[in-house]
Structure 1
């Protein structure tokens, strides 16, 4: 296996289909099998920079909330690289993780440090214990519900994989789940795992057969040098893979003959290779590194006599019985009988059976072990030396395990201290930032107060402007509710200050304007303007102008309506119209032909006598130049220049001009129009010289 696995390959929720399977199937099964307040234990060997354990922690947290279960969660994340573990503990990742992590998870489980980094929040970080660990050499963790070792086995050769997979089998609880990388598999260890999902490489632990542990404890030990410089080597374990253990049916036949009792089958090194029945009252795992040594696993009250019985059975190759032993020291009411039997058809294996006795009853009152006096001094010393060596080996293994645990705890404590120091520095920095923020807030508050004052001043200006102007102005919202109005508006509507907020339809009006509400709604809906002149009940005329009310956000938020008094203008228009009608009546009654020209000598009007006299229509004369009428017959040389000089004179002046060939005399009068511009009135007289 290489010294380290590349960090660059690590990412959150790598291979999403695997995490979808975990989220929908595996995790709900694990939660359903746990009792309330119990602990879920997960191991992620080869965790690299921590993306994998953090991803699993998020999934389990979300699943427990969905299922409304309260369980303790602990994730052990290990890696061979100290640099990777250090980076994982820091929990700081680049902003690129946003491509792999959903926004809602980013907001819940991460703190955004700046535009370039995200940091894991403490609540998620405290779930995970990071430690340097070599799965090929160091003692494995135990009692795991899930082991996720993805894309690690591909860096191992086949022999190393065959040794590591049984480690995962041992450390998993019954029905525990193993997750491997998409390019990995269990290989020759298919007898240890059932495939839950072959495509996503998710497996479930198969059975509890621990016969493979002779090789696990063998390869996971290291040579260690004692303080005095002497080399301490582990006791040699017998081979125990299924293909190499020769007892199979022979052993089982002998075990079944004694099935009413609990027992184990051990090899020459006293390592358990097979369990028969429930041995939990007599054998259990000691604290520290896992072991299958039956002496180390034995209860305190039977340990020494069991060791002596095994030694005697090996020496004599015959059955040895030890009866009436206290199961635990100081508990005489719990007694047990032990029988050690060599397996006759398979050399090097022994069947140990345990049979509980009633309180105070001894089924074997005379032990079949030789009495102490029957041994020679040399044999006694040899037996004691052998026992001392085994106890020393057990102590060494316990020390090994404790040392590993202490090392991991020390690394975690050191990391916590560094995190605490970093947190203190961040708090100090946060304090300074908070102080700076307070100063900014104070400045912003002053600016806000200034803006408020400006707004109040603007409100006062608007209020005074509305009061001073004599133009009625009414503001309505989109629902035609009154927002504001000027004092002059009260002449059109019977409004008081308390009417603000009421629908305009509830207010009586003095206008003769039946379509008022319909026109207002059309202006809001069509975003168009509307202008109309209406008369109120007092006989005064008003110009009503409606425009959409556009807010500062460029949103149409109602309508603004102005009411302008145009009574004088209306009267002037009516007077002018009456004068025009009178002038037209006069023109129609005059029997003498005449025309009215503007200062550009265009015909403004003609009377009926002119049209009849010269066989013309108004359409052929009005609006045309006088010198173009009747194909220019009126435009004699010098006449236009005379007209121009004549217009420069004052009112009341007149000029005459004759058309000898036509027998016509024309008399022109200069007058000023209402806008001050000069106009000419031409009268045509027939001298009787010649008919046109």
Structure 2
């Protein structure tokens, strides 16, 4: 069903390629496929394969009678015959010779052609109907047939190809060695080889002689009848030519319409491409503006992070460092080259650093937690952990801030002492009570 031979033929010579392609044809089933490489082609074997995809180098086998190696196999078989089979083979040879004589001397001549009218196979004796033109050889049966048969043959081929049925024509005359005879032409599609075979058998029948050749004594009557028959033949050929001309004109008109349609489609595609190009230019400008705005925002953010005194750390779900502010170096021994590493791999400058909560828990609850830590230099920090909120409104990772609360902690430590002194001062002056309520006051403050 399929033969794949990719990028092999290019390493073989032309003579080997011409021998190998028919072998592929013989090995494939009817309508089987041949798959070649992108640098290989079947240009010299179009009679054996039909191109399915020129881009991908896929071809389909045409049903033909060519069987490479058949004669070699037959010769090899004859060499291995036993002596006791000689008599039987001799009788078979007589039968085959008789069949050959009947076929050669008494049967019609034929040719097998493809759908492009190229000759695939011929019978013996067909040369009496052919007259190849001088110059470059053209494997086209209409161009090779004798001039008296071309019109009728072309008409029969066109009808058979159009209607997919057998066509018989008996209007042609041709001069042979025994005189002028009518020639019948039969074009028979070959569906037995497959519905898509595209093969036709062209058979030439030698019919009766013209009357003037059979009755030489009645010259005048024969000439008159011959002239009438000639006129009828010419009229038939003229009618066929007119039909061919009309068909050609119709085909040209159809091709012209297709070309016009294709031209309109190309113009439409050109306009669409221009429109797409303009949209692309507009999109390019929008992207450039967005990129500039994003760059400006990034610069602003970098300046903001660099100028703030609050140590901020951004962690992902695996506690890996995404970014941080320069002030974080007062809490961790960390540099800008450490981005992407887990925070637990670094030493800190705190006396005791509480463990970080599970990021999944922080993201799930969406709550903020706080811890107090003391640095080795005596400063106090408030560690605040919050979930990282994305632009889409979801949570991803954590934001950790370290706020210096040393002054607040010092003020809290001085608060009891200051309160004790204030109480002592109020009791000594007798102007107030411990609950800070005013007992006696002047009605008017002289400083007011």
Give the alignment's TM-score, normalised by structure 1: 0.35
Aligned residue for 1:406, secondary structure, equals helix
Taking the aligned partners of 1:513 and 1:304, their CA distance within structure 2 comes to 125
Give the alignment's Cα RMSD to 1 decimal. Answer: 5.3
**Mapped contact 2:183–2:206 kept (Cα < 8 A):** no
**Mapped contact 1:672–1:679 kept (Cα < 8 A):** no
Equivalent residue pairs, number: 298
**Mapped contact 1:652–1:671 kept (Cα < 8 A):** no
1:293 alignment partner, one of 147, 169, 184: 169
Cα deviation, residue 455, structure 1: 1.9
Q: Look up the match of 1:306.
A: 181
Larger radius of gyration: 1
**Mapped contact 2:362–2:387 kept (Cα < 8 A):** yes
1:262 alignment partner, one of 107, 120, 123: 107
Cα deviation, residue 458, structure 1: 2.0
Taking the aligned partners of 1:39 and 1:459, their CA distance within structure 2 comes to 73
**Mapped contact 2:33–2:58 kept (Cα < 8 A):** no
Q: Flag the 1:526–1:447 CA change in 2: closer, same or farther, 3 A.
A: same
Taking the aligned partners of 2:326 and 2:345, their CA distance within structure 1 comes to 19
Q: Look up the match of 1:101.
A: none
**Mapped contact 1:473–1:563 kept (Cα < 8 A):** yes
Taking the aligned partners of 2:408 and 2:178, their CA distance within structure 1 comes to 124
Taking the aligned partners of 2:357 and 2:303, their CA distance within structure 1 comes to 33
1:494 alignment partner, one of 321, 326, 333: 333
Q: Look up the match of 1:389.
A: 232
Q: Deviations over 1:476-512 (max 9, x none)?
A: 2333332322232111101223323333233211224
Relative contact order (alpha carbons < 8 A, sep ≥ 6): 1 or 2 greater?
Answer: 2
Taking the aligned partners of 2:373 and 2:335, their CA distance within structure 1 comes to 23
Taking the aligned partners of 1:527 and 1:30, their CA distance within structure 2 comes to 71
Aligned residue for 2:371, secondary structure, equals strand
Aligned residue for 2:244, secondary structure, equals helix
Task: Report which of the two has the higher share of helix.
Answer: 2
Q: Look up the match of 1:380.
A: 223
Q: Look up the match of 1:535.
A: 374
**Mapped contact 2:108–2:205 kept (Cα < 8 A):** no
Taking the aligned partners of 2:397 and 2:178, their CA distance within structure 1 comes to 94
Q: Look up the match of 1:671.
A: 434
Aligned residue for 1:670, secondary structure, equals coil
What residue ranges of structure 2 are gaps of 5+ in the alignment? Answer: 1-27, 36-41, 65-100, 110-121, 130-140, 142-151, 160-166, 185-203, 421-428, 440-448
2:251 alignment partner, one of 408, 418, 430: 408
**Mapped contact 2:312–2:401 kept (Cα < 8 A):** yes
Q: Flag the 1:39–1:525 CA change in 2: closer, same or farther, 3 A.
A: farther
Taking the aligned partners of 1:445 and 1:374, their CA distance within structure 2 comes to 101
Is structure 2 residue 293 aligned with structure 1 residue 451? yes
Taking the aligned partners of 1:428 and 1:542, their CA distance within structure 2 comes to 67
**Mapped contact 1:287–1:398 kept (Cα < 8 A):** no
Give the alignment's TM-score, normalised by structure 2: 0.50
